[in-house]
Structure 1
Amino acid sequence: MQFSHVSATQGQWIVDSCATADPLTVVAQIPVGYERYARILHPAYDEDDQAVRWGTVANSRGHIFTAADLFETIAGWDAQGNPATEDAWEETDLPVDELPVEQWQALVKILSATNTKDYFVAGLWSGYAFIEGGERIQIDYEDDLELSEEENRAAEAAALAEAQRPAFTADVLATPALELGGGYRNYRLFEVDGEFLANPVWATTADGEQRQRPSLVFPQDHSWMLSTEPYDDCTLIGGSAQLIEAILQDPALEAIEVGQFTRIGHSN
């Protein structure tokens, strides 16, 4: 299971294609020109920690959702996540911001079948605090009753220093990230193999293994690309008709086809 840092220039083709697109359309994230596009919907979780599909929520309200609908629209919520209709769905929170492990691995299995070289470029969102460490990371330290005050403060300082240690080396951090424009859209790029892509572990820190799913993935030939924006509730992908059909038909995934100019959140 391998990954290694690569230059942001490997993602320049995305910048060149997406820079002038309407920021609400699919092609603001996925380059224009693929045969078909899909939106893979992230599940919400109920109070029993059970995954809830968007279709389940829509069916409960008799809502026929379109490819552009937000979860809030399907659930009958306002922009703040509060019930806005009498029949609003009230049994879950907002969907999670990345695909659950089982669904991610099902997706990677489909993607890996299209790539005989077992080589991918994966983009890790630069906003994760563990990447650069530093003061954004704080710890809760419980004093050891067998130690003196001075010893406890020294132990706390050592634990904090370890927690704030950057996960990546200075040469990686000094290399510019891929900037896709606007706010949080910046990513560190890595070459990964299929095994790593299915089960990523970017670092082991004081908080344990960092297993975030990558936000961008594409093969060497750019024959498909997927994107999950920071804090988003779905993953977008563009590729061949055969690939998108396989994703739409996989029972482990909840996916809906979109057009390249579909404006997410504007269903009317």
Structure 2
Amino acid sequence: MQFSHLSADHGQWIASACASADPSTVVAQIPHGFERYVRILHPALDEDDQLVRWETVAQSRKHIITAADLFETVAGLDAQGNPETEDAWVDSDLPLDQLPESQWQALAAELVAASPQDQKFVVGLWAGYAFIEGGDRIQIEREPDPALNDEENQREYEQALAEAQKPAFGPEVIQADLLELGGGYRNYHLFEADAEFLARPEWAITADGAQRQRPALAFAADHSWMLSTEPFDDCTILGGPASLIEAILDNRELEAIEVGQFTRIGHSN
């Protein structure tokens, strides 16, 4: 499993292609020109922390899911997740902001299968994660050791905090220019990765454990496909060849719905 830092220049083709797009449309995230596009819907969690598909929620309300629907529309909720209709689905939280690990691996397997055997991939890590730069944004709780006095406990706490606040990457990553896609928070560190890393990303081992966040964006080095998961969004959007999109729509592990280049997500009728 290998990955290495890349300059933001490798993603400038995305920024250039999407800069003038209507921000609510698919091509504000994925450049125009791919054969077909698809939304992979992130499941919600029920009261027992079990995954719930949008289809289950929709069937409970006799709602027909459209390509532009947000989860709130499907569930009968307002933008804050509160019931808006009498039949609103209230037995789950809003969808996860990334695909569950098993679903991500199912998606990655389709992406790798659609790519040449020696293909490299570019993956983007959202720059908003605190572990990347460490520092004061990271705080810890530590129970005092009854065998130590107050001064010794304070010293132990400070040492543990200093360890937790270490940056995950060196200055060659942290000080490099980010790929900026607009909107104030759509900023990414780019890395070249192999197929194994794409399927099972592990960015760093920190005091908080392994950092296994799914890439916020990824594309084949030959630009034959690209995916994007906006921060806090309820779906992952992918553009690529028709055969890849068909494979994803047919994959029973994934819940996906085809969209057009100019589908305005969140503006369903």
Is TM-score (shorter-chain normalized) higher than 0.5? yes
The answer for unaligned runs of 5 or more in structure 2 is: none
Aligned to 2:192: 191
1:76 paired with 2:76, answer yes
Aligned to 1:62: 62
- Runs of 4+ in structure 1 deviating by more than 6 angstroms, as ranges, are none
Kindly provide the amino acid, as one letter, of the partner of residue 238 in structure 2.
Answer: I
Kindly provide the amino acid, as one letter, of the partner of residue 152 in structure 1.
Answer: N
Q: Distance between the aligned counterparts of 1:183 and 1:64, measured in 2?
A: 34
Q: Distance between the aligned counterparts of 2:119 and 2:34, measured in 1?
A: 21
Q: TM-score, normalised by structure 2?
A: 0.98
How far apart are residue 42 of structure 1 and its match? 0.3
Kindly provide the amino acid, as one letter, of the partner of residue 192 in structure 1.
Answer: A
Aligned to 1:51: 51
How far apart are residue 80 of structure 1 and its match? 1.2
> Number of matched residues?
268
> Could you report, residue by residue, the CA deviation over 1:78-135 in whole angstroms, capped at 9, with x for unpaired residues?
1111111111111101000000011000000000012222410000000000000000
Q: Distance between the aligned counterparts of 1:221 and 1:33, measured in 2?
A: 14
Kindly provide the amino acid, as one letter, of the partner of residue 22 in structure 2.
Answer: D
Aligned to 1:252: 253
Aligned to 2:180: 179
The answer for unaligned runs of 5 or more in structure 1 is: none
Kindly provide the amino acid, as one letter, of the partner of residue 167 in structure 1.
Answer: A
> Could you report, residue by residue, the CA deviation over 1:46-97 in whole angstroms, capped at 9, with x for unpaired residues?
1112111001111111111210000000001111111111111111010000
1:237 paired with 2:238, answer yes
Aligned to 2:122: 121
> Could you report, residue by residue, the CA deviation over 1:7-40 in whole angstroms, capped at 9, with x for unpaired residues?
0100000001000100000000000011100000
Kindly provide the amino acid, as one letter, of the partner of residue 82 in structure 1.
Answer: N
Q: After the TM superposition, which residues 105-120 of structure 1 pair with which residues of structure 2 at under 5 Å, given as runs?
A: 105-115=105-115, 116-120=117-121
Percent pairwise identity: 69
How far apart are residue 171 of structure 1 and its match? 1.4
1:157 is paired with a residue whose SS is helix
Kindly provide the amino acid, as one letter, of the partner of residue 28 in structure 1.
Answer: A
Q: TM-score, normalised by structure 1?
A: 0.99
> Could you report, residue by residue, the CA deviation over 1:132-167 in whole angstroms, capped at 9, with x for unpaired residues?
000000000111111121111111111101100000
How far apart are residue 197 of structure 1 and its match? 1.0
Q: After the TM superposition, which residues 86-97 of structure 1 pair with which residues of structure 2 at under 5 Å, given as runs?
A: 86-97=86-97
Q: Contact between 2:119 and 2:221, CA under 8 Å: does it hold in 1?
A: no
Q: Distance between the aligned counterparts of 1:65 and 1:174, measured in 2?
A: 43
